[in-house]
Structure 1
Amino acid sequence: MTLFKRTALGAALMAGTMLSAPAVMAADLAIAMDQIFQRMDPHNTNYNVDYSGANGMLERLIGFDQNMQLVPQLATSWEGSDDALTFTFHLREGVKFHDGTDFNAAAVKANFDRLADQSQNLAKNSLFKVVESVDTPDDLTVVLHLKEPFGAMINTVAHPSVVIHSPKALEEFGKDVEKNPVGTGPFRFKEWVPGERMVVEKFDGYWDEGWPKVDSVTFYPVGESATRTSMLLSDEVQFVHILPAELAERVASNDAYEVLEVPGITVWTASMNMFKEHFKDPRVRRAFNLAVDQQAFIDVVYSGHGIVPDSAIAPDTRFYEKQTPLETDLEEARRLMKEAGYENGFDITIWGINNSTGVRMLQFLKQQLSQIKVNATIVPMEGATRSEKVFGANVVPEKVEYDMLMGGWSPSTGDADWHLRPVYATEGWIPKIYNAAFYSNEIVDGAIQDALNTADPEKRREAYSIAQKQIWEDAPVIWLAIENKMAARKKGLTGVFQMPDGTMQYSRAAFE
């Protein structure tokens, strides 16, 4: 596996004069995304595509580097109390929002209060449900006081959704801030034509001197993978976010372009709706897992660029613990189905995404389950349609139509909490978060809570170990793959890359 292939660039020739170092030229950057944007309000979305588009405009107190290690952004330092009840952030001085207003402790408080206010019904309110109050002892200090210990708070503040909007914009636009983002980033919002393009432009008042180094960035939503790749190779775009593995060789064989690949932390699953009678039986859930050849799934969907899951969370997620692998065993799967009274199978519907990779996933799963006489109707959906049907405010768990939901979850905090809790805790039932199986187990809920009640890493590890073991035994989902994150870019473009959680960074984009 090649990690972040890099190319040495020669010195630049400009106007016939040899320069001693590459010249950095202002330019316009174009990026092809695999989905349409839903909302430019990260507080109120669950989609990586939205976080990726917004992160050049809206910054956080704490960010991640390309290895998911915490780095300062709008906060210069931070600390938490031993009892995990109080967290203090020291802010960067001299920062302005794009509307000319000051970034300060009051601005942070306005955003943290919004996230903590559960009545807002924002997609990411659950991240801050433990916040009791937000204090601002001075203009450059913010203190979070929690209702109960929450050992994952620092990593939670670093989640891509925990951005700082201009309070003036929040007041002026309300929820329509999702169409009018105003932040502190190197780029400011220019225009958004839904389904066609979004454009951001250089912000001359950016706090980090010397940045940005490009004049504008235009994002094009292109669901068809081959089309995105063709746009790159014809220089219509200079970066492809989400490069399907089967097209990587096509890009790598062209000397003008490069493939970027990093191990991912997104676990792809097919959640089994436990309100459906057949999935209430653990023998059926285990049979579904044993019927699917996960390595074949990785080979077919990702051309081998990934690994088979051996826990509910990925190896590079904090507090991961390996479980006994589930190996394909059709004979045992058929025996379990017969024992459960389903020797002749049954009919199900599987919902998924309608891009090239998503359709391939659905088709593969349909074929695999047919081996145990399960007749699957696959339903590929456009992103916005899927979002409304799965996460819409009117969704009632007991009345959800699908039998299975294909999807991936990445803990963009880098911590086990933000994978196990939203996907497997009872509190995470959709539409609230992402427990699409409507799985509920008191042991799991208790272990997840125990892990949050302490800031001691070893105690947290012990609790998450219990949760992972129980989830693996109950098998509420089919664990399918942890794919490597792949992207492609034109050589000479730097500072734009894919993150292990599936988001993308472009704040430090530059052409050399």
Structure 2
Amino acid sequence: MNVLKRAAFGAALLAGTAFAMPAMAADLGIAMDQIFQKMDPHNSNYNVDYVAASGVVERLIGFDQNMKLVPQLATSWEGSDDAKTFTFKLREGVTFHDGTPFDAAAVKANFDRLADQSQNLAKNSLFKVVESVETPDDFTVVLKLKEPFGAMINTVAHPSVVIHSPKALAELGTGVEKKLVGTGPFKFKEWVPGERLVLEKNENYWDSGWPKVDKVTFFPVTESATRASMLLSDEVQFVHILPAELSERVQSSGGYEVLEVPGITVWTASLNMLKEHFKDERVRRAFNLAVDQQAFVDVVYSGHGIVPDSPIAPDTRFYEAQEPLKTDVEEARRLMKEAGYEDGFEIEIWGTNSSTGVRMLQFLQQQLSQINVRAKIVPMEGATRSEKVFSSMVPEESTFDMLMGGWSPSTGDADWHLRPVYATEGWIPKIYNMAFYSNETVDKAIQDALNTADPEKRQAAYSIAQKQIWKDNPVVWLAIENKMAGRKKGLSGVFQMPDGTMQYSKAAFE
């Protein structure tokens, strides 16, 4: 069934028409909220790509449901006291889908690729501190760094740091993004861009007894109601990213359940600090005071989330709470007047054209009108936004005033939130600092935290960074939404993660 037919089918179902579509008990269907971009996680910035690839190409280290580190292709790891040498012991008896043995040489081929900045891969930045990759024996890999980097272990656990077959890398090069070869429980079978991705069971998987399903089919379906209807018709058995407004229908359906976990994605509206009006801290403070963040959580996420109280989420390592946000329109107006903007000014707010994205934009437009700010909202299709922001952006020529975005540190560590979003080195298009924010105290604190492997010293440094960022208001902090998904009852081992990804490798039907 193609996407257009599914859309019509879904609309009919939600309107009350009953349909029944049998699903093979050994087959798993998953509806994703975005179109897949590249099947090579080394060269992608998209959670949907990481999710689909995760059952085919594995990492040395993974995460459990609570973002705690767990062994995958590595059985153990350790870092030196100076945070410059990291050693990984590898799992033995593992074979890639093409028959190539998994060993230290295979890991080196992948880590060398990530460390080679001339490759211009999307995730080269994660390994820019790597000086060399050494293999003292067939099942030991040692990363030598150019400088201390205390977040290296969590960086290796990032969902993009997967291990491709070295034979596939040598033969296909960047072509691996269209035909994955890994060690995972599922093998790549077919990818029809915009329509489906099909994986099949790996009969020789190293983890005995798995997988327990024969086939996994991913459907990219951007329309939320259609994803929900596909679940309720049993065309799929799991919906990744279930909007809160559809959760009650799924929950009350009888044969399906809603999964909900606290997220670590912090949603913000970045204030372009290259614009004259946002160079004034009073204006940035006024914008935060004018916006009712709890109302934002209620309107956009139907209450399924929390108001941020730090630049990073509570379940991120080294989080420290700051003074809670408050809404005070009168104080916001006073600050605007003091800064010389009593009559406000005109701005452009960029965001996405999804139903949730448009709600975000409209909410901000209304809230900011209270301080005489006249906002033109610019919703864009996801690929268009990505092109304008991350491919062709020149900071000094940027035209937006505010830019909506959410960042999830998929390493689980404060480094991979504070550094890409608030360090000077993270200015878009390089990483995700969409405010063009730059503060020497913040940059130094972030670097100090990376210069040691001592958790207490890292906590102290990140405390300084969080406090300064919170004081400077480079963004309007909006929400940390709960991650919600829909699942058929009787299905286990498939669940969403706090970082916005999901897992399906241990999928099983009762």
Q: What TM-score do you get using the length of structure 1 for normalisation?
A: 0.93
Alignment of 1:26-425 (within 5 A): 27-392=26-391, 394-425=392-423
Q: Distance in 1 between matches of 2:94 and 2:396?
A: 48
Aligned-pair distance for 1:26?
A: 5.8
- Output the amino acid matched with 2:468: Q
Q: Within 2, Cα distance between the matches of 1:197 and 1:484?
A: 27
Contact 1:26 1:215 in 2 (8 A): no
CA–CA distance in structure 1, aligned partners of residues 273 and 122 of structure 2: 23
Letter in 2 for 1:173: L
Q: Distance in 2 between matches of 1:324 and 1:172?
A: 54
SS of equivalent to 2:371: coil
Q: Distance in 1 between matches of 2:327 and 2:480?
A: 17
In the alignment, is the contact (CA less than 8 A) between 1:165 and 1:183 conserved in 2?
yes
When structure 1 is superposed on structure 2, of 286-295 and 360-369 the one drifting more is 360-369
Is 1:123–1:432's contact at 8 Å kept on the other side of the alignment?
A: no
Which residue among 421, 431, 436 is the counterpart of 1:438? 436
SS of alignment partner, residue 316 of structure 1: coil
Matched residue SS, 2:227: helix
Alpha-carbon contact 1:319-1:464 (below 8 Å) kept: yes
The aligned counterpart of 2:462 is 464
Alpha-carbon offset, residue 381 of structure 1: 2.0
Q: Distance in 1 between matches of 2:57 and 2:434?
A: 29
Contact in 2 for aligned 1:96/1:207 (Cα 8 Å) = yes
Distance between the aligned counterparts of 2:27 and 2:58, measured in 1? 21
Letter in 1 for 2:428: I
Once the two structures are TM-superposed, the CA of residue 400 in structure 1 deviates from its matched residue by: 2.4
Distance 1:114 1:399 in 2: 33
Letter of the structure 2 residue corresponding to residue 104 of structure 1:
D
4+ runs of 1 displaced by more than 3 Å?
A: none
Aligned AA (1:149): P
Contact 1:238/1:490 (8 A) holds in 2:
yes
Number of the residue aligned with 2:450: 452
**1:7-57 Cα deviation digits (max 9, x unpaired):** xxxxxxxxxxxxxxxxxx861111111111111111122221111111111
How much does 1:410 deviate? 0.7
Name the CA distance, whole Å, in 1 between partners of 2:461 and 2:263. 24
Q: CA deviation at 1:271?
A: 0.8
Task: Name the aligned partner's letter for residue 214 of structure 1.
Answer: V
Q: Which residue number in structure 1 is paired with residue 472 of structure 2?
A: 474
Question: How far did 1:242 drift?
Answer: 0.6
Aligned to 1:362, what secondary structure does the other structure show?
helix
CA distance in 2, matches of 1:173, 1:288: 50
Asked whether the 8 Å contact 1:26–1:213 carries over to 2, the reply is no
The 2-side partners of 1:299 and 1:91 are apart by 46
Equivalent residue of 2:134, what SS? Answer: strand
Are 1:223 and 1:356, in contact at CA under 8 Å, matched by a contact in 2? Answer: no
Give, in whole Å, the separation in 2 of the partners of 1:264 and 1:181: 29
CA distance in 2, matches of 1:93, 1:277: 58
| CA apart distance, 1:176 | 2.5
Moved more, 269-278 or 84-93: 269-278
The one-letter amino acid of 2:264's match is: I
- Percent identity for Structure 1 against Structure 2: 85
Q: Distance in 1 between matches of 2:366 and 2:102?
A: 54
What code does the residue aligned with 2:46 have?
Y
TM-score, normalisation: structure 2: 0.94
Deviation at residue 353 of structure 1 after TM alignment: 2.0
Letter in 2 for 1:108: V
Measured on the aligned residues, the alpha-carbon RMSD in Å equals 1.2
Structure 1 pair 100–400 and aligned structure 2 pair: CA distance change class (3 A): farther
Q: Give 1:354 shift.
A: 2.1
CA offset digits 1:116-146 (Å, max 9, x no partner): 1112222211111111110001111000011
Give the distance between the partners of 1:377 and 1:145, measured in 2 at CA: 49
Distance in 2 between residues matched to 1:50 and 1:497, nearest whole Å: 16
In the alignment, does 2:494 pair up with 1:496? yes
Aligned partners of 1:400 and 1:178: how far apart in 2?
A: 31
1:327 counterpart letter in structure 2: K
CA distance, structure 2, for counterparts of residue 331 and residue 201 of structure 1: 60
Query: Is the Cα contact below 8 Å between 1:273 and 1:279 reproduced in 2?
Result: yes
Task: Specify the SS of the correspondent of 1:371.
Answer: helix
Matched residue SS, 1:443? helix
**Distance in 2 of aligned mates of 1:351 and 1:161:** 27
Q: Deviations over 1:313-346 (max 9, x none)?
A: 0111111111111201111111111222222222
2: CA distance, partners of 1:78 / 1:114: 21
Letter in 2 for 1:503: T
What is the alpha-carbon distance in structure 2 between the residues aligned to residue 193 and residue 281 of structure 1? Answer: 49
Cα distance in 2 for residues equivalent to 1:385 and 1:186: 34
CA contact (8 A) 1:36 1:383 kept: no
Query: Secondary structure of 1:219's match?
Result: strand
2:4 is matched with none
CA distance in 1, matches of 2:349, 2:146: 39
Separation in 2 of the partners of 1:334 and 1:90?
59
For 1:237, give the aligned amino acid: V
3-state secondary structure, aligned to 1:90? strand
Say whether the 8 Å CA contact 1:96–1:184 is kept in structure 2: yes
Aligned to 2:483: 485
Which blocks of at least 5 consecutive residues in structure 1 are unaligned?
1-24
Paired AA for residue 306 in structure 2: I
Q: Distance in 2 between matches of 1:26 and 1:82?
A: 50
Q: Is the 8 A contact 1:278 1:284 kept in 2?
A: yes
Shift of 1:204: 1.6
The separation in 2 between residues aligned to 1:326 and 1:340, in whole angstroms, is 21
Residue 382 of structure 1: how far off its partner (Å):
2.1
Contact 1:38 1:384 in 2 (8 A): no
